[in-house]
């Protein structure tokens, strides 16, 4: 096993680089590190990079083989593993939250914690943005305090208001737009996670860090 990272086609206009097959912080750190290296290399033809939990997908225009060769040259798993863990370049965002969501009581009941304890455990840590998807500006944040881990709601809501702060599995997030959703709603924020008129439109990027701050 030479430690090279598989590079597989996603259609004719993207390459997916596969760093792992599970959700864990170390693999994601390597994804973030790899994305930085590719950005720095300024390979012609690349439109954008889409990091996810354990993969990095490179969307491009034109001839893909030359790009693939350039990516392969950067895809040294050994050096990614060895790269400094202190390379946390993502911005830190603090999001004020009014902890009074419609599912807060149910979450307290299901976890056996008091509401105050749910709030303390949710707001008391720094999360990493793993990826954005599902809707523009929807950031998957991890990892939740294990005591708060719950499966998704059995029946999703058809309408979750924009700004809802939610949890499911070992993730947390904020709904940027009013959409259907199956996560547990524990609070809300007035922070605009996505604004098409703003630059950047999405507040968070993969690799950023987030803290939630309870407000009265």
Partner 1 sequence: MITLGKAPPFATVQDRGWRSGRAMGLPRCGAMDPLLLAQANALVGNPPGTAGIEWALGAGEIVVEEPCEMTILGAQRVEVNDRPADPEHPVLRLDAGSHVVILPRQDSRFLYVAVRGGIDVPLVMGSRSTYLPGGFGGFEGRRLRNGDRLPVGQAHHAPLGGTVHPRHGSGPAAGTGADVVLRILAGPQWNRFDDAAHRDFLGGRYVVTTESDRMGYRLSGPVVRPNTAATLPSEAACPGAIQIPDGGQPIVLMVDGPTVGGYPKIGVILAADLPTLAQLPPGRTVRFREISDAG
Residue 12 touches partner 1, criterion: CB under 8 A: yes
Judge whether 70 and 55 are in contact, CB under 8 Å.
no
Query: Of 82-111, which residues contact partner 1 (CB under 8 A)?
Result: none
Residue 127 touches partner 1, criterion: CB under 8 A: no
Residue 49 touches partner 1, criterion: CB under 8 A: yes
Judge whether 180 and 160 are in contact, CB under 8 Å.
yes
Determine the interface stretch with partner 1 among 54-62, 76-84, 87-95, 184-192 (rule: CB under 8 A): 54-62
Residue 170 touches partner 1, criterion: CB under 8 A: no
- Choose, by CB under 8 A, the member of 37, 121, 205, 209 that binds partner 1: 205
Minimum CB separation of residue 137 from partner 1 in Å reads: 6
Tell me whether residue 118 or residue 144 sits nearer to partner 1 (CB atom). 144
Tell me whether residue 79 or residue 179 sits nearer to partner 1 (CB atom). 179
Query: Of 16-45, which residues contact partner 1 (CB under 8 A)?
Result: 16, 18, 21-23
Residues 6+ away with beta carbon under 8 Å from 194: 135, 136, 137, 138, 176, 177, 201, 202, 203
- Choose, by CB under 8 A, the member of 90, 113, 202, 214 that binds partner 1: 202
- Choose, by CB under 8 A, the member of 30, 32, 55, 128 that binds partner 1: 55
Minimum CB separation of residue 178 from partner 1 in Å reads: 8
Residue 197 touches partner 1, criterion: CB under 8 A: yes
**Interface with partner 1 (CB under 8 A):** 8-14, 16, 18, 21-23, 47-55, 57, 59, 131-138, 140, 177-179, 194, 196-197, 200-202, 205-206
């Amino acid at each position: 096993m030479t430690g090279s990272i598989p590079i597989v086609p996603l259609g004719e206009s993207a390459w997916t680089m596969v760093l792992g097959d599970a959700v864990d912080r170390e693999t994601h750190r390597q994804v973030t590190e790899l994305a930085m290296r590719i950005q720095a290399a300024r390979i012609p033809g690349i439109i954008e990079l889409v990091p996810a939990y354990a993969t990095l997908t490179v969307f491009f225009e034109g001839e893909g083989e030359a790009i693939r060769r350039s990516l392969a040259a950067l895809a040294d798993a050994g050096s990614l593993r060895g790269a400094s863990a202190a390379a946390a370049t993502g911005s830190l965002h603090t999001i004020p939250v009014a902890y009074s969501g419609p599912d807060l009581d149910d979450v307290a009941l299901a976890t056996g914690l008091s509401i105050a304890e749910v709030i303390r455990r949710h707001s008391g840590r720094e999360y990493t943005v793993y990826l954005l998807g599902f809707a523009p500006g929807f950031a998957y944040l991890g990892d939740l305090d294990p005591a708060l881990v719950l499966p998704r709601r059995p029946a999703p809501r058809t309408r979750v208001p924009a700004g809802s702060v939610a949890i499911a599995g070992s993730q947390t997030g904020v709904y940027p737009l009013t959409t259907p959703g199956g996560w547990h709603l524990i609070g809300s924020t007035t922070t605009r996670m996505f604004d098409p008129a703003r630059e950047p439109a999405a507040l968070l990027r993969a690799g950023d860090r987030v803290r939630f701050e309870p407000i009265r």
